[in-house]
Amino acid sequence: MDVNPMEIVEAENDSNAEKEKEKKKSRLNTYVAIAVALLATFIGVCKVKDDNIVQAMQQAQANRIDDWGLYQARNIRTEIAQATIAQLELQALSQPKDIRQAYQKKIAYYQELSDRENKKKLEEKAKAENDQKTYDQLNFHDDQFDLADASLAIAISLFALTSLTQKRWLFGIAMVPTAFGVLMGLAGLLNWGIHPDALTNLLSDSSLTQPPSTLISVDDRTEATSLNRTL
C-alpha cells in the first residue's frame, strides 16, 4: 500500500491547528478564571467595608432621630416657660405691690428655665444637623460600593459568557464594567471623592417618583371631606 506524503502533512497540520486551538481556549479560560477569582476577592473586601458603613449609617440615623426628638422636647419646654411668664406678668398687673415681688421671683425663675432650655435646644439642633452630615458622608461611600458591586456582578456574568462562547471580544467588553467597578470600589475603600451623581440619582430616585395624577393636596382632601359632610 502506497503512502501519500501529502496526506501525512495535512494530518499533521490539522493536528497542529487543533492543538493550537485548544491552547488558545485553555489560555482564555485561564484569564477568565484569574479575573473572576480576583474580582470575587475584591468584592469580599468591599463587602466588609460596606457592611461597616451601613451599620454606621443606621447609628447616625438613630442618633439624628433621638436628637431631633430632644430638640422638640426642649422647644416645648421653652414655649411652656414663655407662656407661663406671659401669664404671670399679666396676673402681676392686678396684684398689690407687696405681692408683685413674689410674682417677679417666679417670672425670673421661668425666664432662667426658658433660657436654659433654649440653649440646650440649640445644642440638640446642632447635634442633629451634625448627625445628618455624618449620614450623608457615609451614604456617599455606600453609593460607591453599591455601584462597584453592580458593575462587578455584570463583569463576572460577561466573563462567564466569555468562557462559554470562547469569544475574545467578550473578554474585552467585560473589562469595561470591571474597570469601573474596581475604580468605585477603591474610591469607597480609600475615601476618594469619585461619585457619579447622575447615575446614582437615576438608580435611587426613579422608584420614588409618583405620577402627578396620584398626588392629592391637603386642600383637595379638605374640600372633599367638607363636601361629603354636606351631602
Q: What is the pLDDT along the chain (231 residues), one digit of tens a residue?
A: 454 555 554 555 555 556 566 676 788 999 999 999 999 999 999 999 999 999 999 999 999 999 999 999 999 999 999 999 999 988 888 888 878 888 889 999 999 999 999 999 999 999 999 999 999 999 999 999 999 999 999 999 999 999 999 899 999 999 999 999 999 999 999 999 999 988 888 887 644 555 444 444 444 444 444 434 443
DSSP structural state of residue 191: T
**What global pTM score does this model have?**
0.71
Centre a 10 Å sphere on the Cβ of residue 212 and count the other Cβ atoms it contains. 6
Centre a 10 Å sphere on the Cβ of residue 84 and count the other Cβ atoms it contains. 17
Asked, for residue 225, whether it belongs to a domain, the answer is no
Cell of 220: 383637595
Asked, for residue 170, whether it belongs to a domain, the answer is yes
| Whole-angstrom distance, CA of residue 166 vs CA of residue 26 | 10
DSSP structural state of residue 213: G
Q: 164 lies in which domain range?
A: 30-196
Asked, for residue 189, whether it belongs to a domain, the answer is yes
Cell of 142: 455606600
Asked, for residue 42, whether it belongs to a domain, the answer is yes
Q: For the chain, how many helices (H) and strands (E)? A: 5, 0
The predicted pLDDT at position 230 comes to 42
Asked, for residue 212, whether it belongs to a domain, the answer is no
Asked, for residue 218, whether it belongs to a domain, the answer is no
Centre a 10 Å sphere on the Cβ of residue 154 and count the other Cβ atoms it contains. 16
Asked, for residue 22, whether it belongs to a domain, the answer is no
Asked, for residue 67, whether it belongs to a domain, the answer is yes
Which residue in 222, 64, 221 sits closest to 138, CA to CA?
A: 64
- What is the SS3 assignment for 190? coil
Cell of 147: 455601584
| Whole-angstrom distance, CA of residue 148 vs CA of residue 178 | 9
Task: For residue 131, count CB atoms less than 10 angstroms from its CB and return exposed for 0-12, middle for 13-18, buried for 19 or more.
Answer: buried
| Whole-angstrom distance, CA of residue 85 vs CA of residue 109 | 9
- Structural domains of the chain, count: 1
